[in-house]
Amino acid sequence: MAEKNRFSRLLKTLISASELKNYTLAQELGYDVSYISKWISGQIIPSEKYAEKILTGISECVVNKCEPEALAKLMQNYQVDSRSQLKQAVYDNLEAEYHYVREMQSNSEDEGTVRTSYYPELKLAQYIDKMWHPVLRRVNALDVVGALDMFAMGREYQMQIAEGKGNHVPEGKMYQDVHYYMLVDVRPEKMNSAGDVIFLVDLLTRNSCIDFRLYSSQQAGGKAIFVVKDEYLISGMLAGDDRCLSVTISENPENCKAVYRNLKDMCNRDRLLFRRTTLQEMLRKHEYVHTLFALRQQWLMGHLTEHFLPEDLFEEILQTFEAGPEAAPAREELRDIHRISRKVVEEFHISLLIYRTAFYNLAVDHTIDFFNHKVRLTPEQTIRCLGHFAKLCRNCPGLEVKMIPGRLISDIEYNTRECIFLSDTVSYLRLGIEHSNVFIIDRKDMREAFGRMFCQFFDDREGTLITDRELIAANIEHVVSGISREDRPVIH
């Protein structure tokens, strides 16, 4: 009798979890019950011709026949909130395991005994494809560590690693028990372009719904190692920017555990590139105020924040503001902080790069980032907010504003809604408003890399930015003209 393969083990687990009978599943699929038994035992797997139909039928049956208690447990395992999401998650898991087993069977007569494979050479695209092992579908709890020399890879391969195959961790919620620690080599000779810094910001953004941490290590140089604790390991040596040599793939738990432990030991506090925090924590520790008083202010804005609110609008928002379960500063303290912020914006020297889309997005969704909380404005309040920014452009000579009409880097896709606040003391990123995704840039070398990136773009040697203050204000007024509201005020 054949040893169970990954697909057969998953199928048995799903049938057991849902308390489904083999006979019931066979009826739903229109197959003889003997086929179900052979799939579960690992003797055969479904034919490729009918695989999609069969896997869809299994996922539908497993979810539809589940009792409430078993259904709740499955939803917890897959970290989903509805039956439709669960059906898709089960299907995705079955599909991943099915294709994995089919590929292994095409390379070995006995898939069940395969534990370790060796490849003298793989294209980097092949290596990345093999990184995304089916175990990553188990999003309720994962421990992953990697040593990846990202900046020795071609940009397209960097983006493939950042995006992930199949988006194993869905967006829109936080997965506290998914831990992914990545070691990268960020020496200046490796990170030699502004695009590399933008890529790191995008990498943090894409993984912001999990416990994702980036560490600096020269030992990641020339390496491509990715390991899921106790489950899966792939390692190789980079050759050029598109190939890997001496690639080893293993599912041996002892091998995986040993490599995971060795890499994890290198992920120490001194090597951490970005320290995750919340804006509320920054307010409590006075780090937020320290950034306002710092010298060499350089801001890259992808959305509008509380820094650019007129006093009356700030007060209106504050009166209705609910900070949520996390403790927040008292209203009077926020008022004091806003007074400081307004003075800084109006009187200090700030180099400010802002995406034109920041104004368009505000006009469309009327949502502003208020101390890292989403606040919905009325159309009238939106107009006042935009109008105030236009006045700042015209009336505050210390605010050196330049508008980004498109993307800073045109040849790669990345999120343009992020905000970066750089100074000679505390520098930090605000990557969104969903999960308080605030990251303090924790190392001097990384702050310097961000500073070089900002200066490269701000100097605008290619002439792609809008630098004329009156033209920037006119762009904002054009956005305001598209907001529907009677008796729209004139912006001076």
pLDDT for 491 equals: 43
pLDDT for 17 equals: 86
pLDDT for 415 equals: 86
CATH topology of domain 115-272: Endonuclease; Chain A (3.30.870)
Strand order of the β-sheet with 428-430 is 274-277, 438-441, 428-430, 419-422, 297-301, 350-355, 399-404
* CATH architecture, domain defined by 6-107: Orthogonal Bundle (1.10)
pTM metric for this prediction: 0.83
Give the number of other CB atoms < 10 A from CB of residue 304: 24
pLDDT for 391 equals: 96
pLDDT for 136 equals: 85
What is the domain partition of the chain in residue ranges? 6-107, 115-272, 276-481
What residues of the chain score a pLDDT lower than 50?
1-2, 109-114, 166-168, 486-492
Per CATH, 6-107 and 115-272 having the same topology is answered no
- Give me Rg for the CA atoms of the chain: 26
pLDDT tens column, 360-372: 999 999 999 999 9
pLDDT for 321 equals: 81
